[in-house]
């Protein structure tokens, strides 16, 4: 980091390494102390998921170079809740940090289950803390505050330091009837405002939407009506982490005298952990995929993974009629009780079209109130501003359009200091003028199988090019005198068979290679690099002439 400040007084600063300028991959740092000697608190350590533009990538992780170099000054890591974009990177990145890790029981139980699944049981120590805990983590005095969200035990953090106080909302909404989990602790939030709040760092996901978010109870009523009136099988797919939605669906099924079948590994794990931690009653009679085929068609409700169109999830396989134990028939009904995450539209559309092709009824949140967001709209944000009266607001958790809408809305609510940053922006919160004062390395790290590669490495870009234009590989063997021993050997992947006039493309490629060789005097053919580059250029030019594309081309020249 550059050194722009020379002050030695203690400051409270905020540094996002993920989650600002995007939705997902949340990683936030709070620092306290003079610029040359800060202690750090990490809030969340999440992932985001690869889209079509990252072929072959499993997960995307935040770049933690900055805090890894500062890990001796990292006092601890607090996880606000158990959504993948807030805790999914722990098992990948914690071994590089090894700081104390704090989580509430539900989050801790899910993390342990993930570690067991990956063969890492016991590898990461977790300090389990109850909701509403007050923790002393190095120089940070941290209080967990209950917030309603779409997963149990979501916490905002009140962070007190010698330099000032910040309130980090995490993901939240105002929901008086969340079905599962605590409601947002409005009384505690009001008191925080009365005590004086230097900075509010707040969720921006729905900052562009007016009004108030509907309640989970409203969704529960809709699900109950639809399931009660369905003539045949009903399947519901939702985020497995939305335990309130799982419970509402189960209650609706029991009210309609239907058997509940859990389909999909992630759903089974979530249900098990929710039961163990008391967020789902263990009295529910839940069946497995093995029971599905023995049940009367009109007495079944299946809870399935795959709301985002994931190809290996249960619903995609059922829709393609390739699941080994679960199938749907004409007249059955599938409810998508979730929102489609940007980037997943094609995958979700494919699953829905596969279902529709088989005359299976598809119902989404565009058709009925079967999903609500776990994030606040402007009406809820307005309440939070009135209660907390923060001196400064930092919009977080959103793409640039969400952040800028949030900044404008905060100013409309009378907030005088609004600082808009991005990942890597070091923001002074207090004392002094709140502003971006420096920057830190930030970015993305791709999880490529068992390897971690930085966003700037060429492997992913090469795969994009391969997806667009295939690839060509040639092998040419020459004598030391420059004579060609045999025709070049060609391997073409993803290349059309023939040109428009019917000439096989391998012949086109060999002809181009021969032409390039003929243009090089024999004495100069001893330079294998020169020969390879001449052939590569000639082949790509000829391919463009006949196909309109210039596929990647590699040439191996052997001189014997």
Between strands 259-263 and 199-203, the pairing is unpaired
Question: Helix, strand, coil proportions of the chain in percent (round to 5)?
Answer: 30, 25, 40
Take residue 427 and report the two structure tokens written for it.
């923001």
User: Which residues are registered as beta bridge partners of 20?
Assistant: 398
Q: Report pLDDT for 4.
A: 44
11-211+373-449 has which CATH code?
3.60.15.10
Take residue 306 and report the two structure tokens written for it.
């795959």
Take residue 90 and report the two structure tokens written for it.
């722990």
Q: Report pLDDT for 8.
A: 64
- CB atoms under 10 Å from CB of 193, counted, come to 17
φ, ψ for residue 137 (rounded to 5)? -120, 95
Q: Report pLDDT for 406.
A: 98
Below-50 pLDDT ranges, the chain: 1-7
φ, ψ for residue 165 (rounded to 5)? -130, 135
Q: Report pLDDT for 223.
A: 98
List, in order, residues 6 or more apart from 196 with CB less than 8 Å away. 165
CATH T-level assignment (fold) for domain 458-559: Ubiquitin-like (UB roll) (3.10.20)
216-363 has which CATH code?
3.40.50.10710
Q: According to CATH, where is 3.10.20.580 located in the chain?
A: 458-559
> CA geometry: angle at 390 spanning 384 and 393, to 5°?
90
Q: Report pLDDT for 179.
A: 96
Q: Is 354 exposed, middle or buried (0-12, 13-18, 19+ CB in 10 A)?
A: middle
CA distance linking residue 478 with residue 494, whole number of Å: 28
CA distance linking residue 538 with residue 109, whole number of Å: 60
CA distance linking residue 524 with residue 539, whole number of Å: 19
CB 471 within 8 A of CB 552: yes
CB 421 within 8 A of CB 46: no
Q: According to CATH, where is 3.60.15.10 located in the chain?
A: 11-211+373-449
Q: Report pLDDT for 456.
A: 75
Q: For tokens 């900055």, what's the residue?
A: 66
C-alpha 516 chain-centroid distance: 48
CA distance linking residue 117 with residue 100, whole number of Å: 22
Q: According to CATH, where is 3.40.50.10710 located in the chain?
A: 216-363
Take residue 116 and report the two structure tokens written for it.
């067991």
Take residue 185 and report the two structure tokens written for it.
């602790």
CB 109 within 8 A of CB 273: yes
Q: For tokens 């409601």, what's the residue?
A: 183
């Amino acid at each position: 980091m550059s050194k722009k400040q020379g002050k030695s007084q203690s400051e409270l600063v905020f540094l996002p390494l993920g989650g600002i300028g995007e939705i997902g991959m949340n990683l936030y740092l709070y620092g306290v102390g003079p610029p040359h000697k800060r202690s750090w608190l990490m809030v969340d350590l999440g992932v985001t998921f690869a889209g079509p533009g990252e072929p072959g990538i499993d997960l995307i992780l935040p770049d933690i170079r900055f805090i890894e170099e500062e890990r001796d000054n990292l006092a601890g890591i607090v996880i606000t809740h158990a959504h993948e974009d807030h805790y999914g990177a722990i098992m990948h990145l914690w071994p590089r940090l090894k700081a104390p890790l704090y989580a509430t029981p539900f989050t801790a139980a899910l993390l342990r289950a993930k570690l067991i699944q990956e063969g890492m049981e016991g590898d990461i120590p977790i300090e389990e803390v109850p909701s509403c805990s007050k923790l002393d983590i190095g120089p940070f005095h941290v209080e967990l505050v209950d917030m309603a969200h779409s997963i149990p035990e979501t916490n905002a953090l009140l962070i007190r330091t010698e330099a000032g106080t910040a309130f980090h909302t995490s993901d939240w909404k105002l929901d008086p009837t969340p079905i599962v989990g605590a409601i947002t602790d409005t009384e505690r939030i009001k008191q925080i405002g009365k005590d004086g709040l230097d900075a509010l760092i707040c969720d921006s996901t729905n900052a562009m939407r007016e009004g108030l978010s509907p309640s989970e109870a409203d969704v529960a009523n809709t699900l109950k009506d639809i399931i009660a009136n369905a003539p045949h099988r009903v399947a519901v797919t939702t985020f497995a982490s939305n335990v309130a939605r799982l419970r509402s669906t189960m209650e609706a099924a029991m009210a309609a005298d239907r058997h509940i079948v859990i389909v999909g590994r992630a759903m089974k794990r979530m249900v098990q952990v929710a039961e163990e931690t008391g967020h789902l009653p263990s009295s529910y009679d839940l069946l497995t995929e093995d029971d599905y085929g023995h049940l009367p068609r009109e007495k079944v409700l299946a809870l399935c993974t795959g709301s985002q169109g994931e190809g290996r999830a249960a619903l995609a396989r059922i829709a393609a009629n390739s699941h080994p134990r679960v199938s749907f028939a004409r007249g059955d009904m599938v409810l998508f009780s979730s929102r489609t995450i940007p980037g997943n539209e094609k995958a979700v559309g494919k699953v829905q079209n596969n279902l529709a092709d088989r005359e299976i009824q598809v119902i989404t949140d565009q058709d009925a109130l079967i999903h609500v967001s776990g994030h606040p709209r402007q009406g809820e944000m307005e309440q939070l501003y009135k209660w907390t009266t923060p001196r400064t607001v930092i919009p977080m958790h959103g793409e640039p359009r969400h952040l800028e809408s949030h900044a404008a809305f905060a100013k409309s609510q009378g907030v005088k200091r609004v600082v808009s940053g991005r990942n890597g922006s070091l923001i002074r919160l207090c004392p002094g003028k709140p502003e971006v004062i420096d920057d830190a390395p930030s970015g993305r790290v791709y999880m490529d199988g068992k390897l971690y590669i930085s966003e700037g490495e060429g492997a992913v870009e090469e795969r994009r090019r391969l997806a667009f234009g295939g690839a060509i590989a040639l092998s040419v063997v020459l004598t030391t005198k420059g004579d060609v021993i045999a025709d070049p050997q060609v391997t073409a992947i993803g290349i059309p068979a023939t040109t428009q006039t019917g000439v096989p493309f391998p012949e086109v490629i060999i002809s181009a290679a021969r032409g390039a060789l003929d243009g090089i005097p024999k004495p100069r053919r001893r330079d294998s690099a020169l020969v390879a580059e001449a052939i590569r250029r000639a082949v790509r030019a000829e391919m463009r002439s006949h196909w309109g594309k210039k596929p990647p081309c590699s040439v191996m020249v052997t001189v014997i």
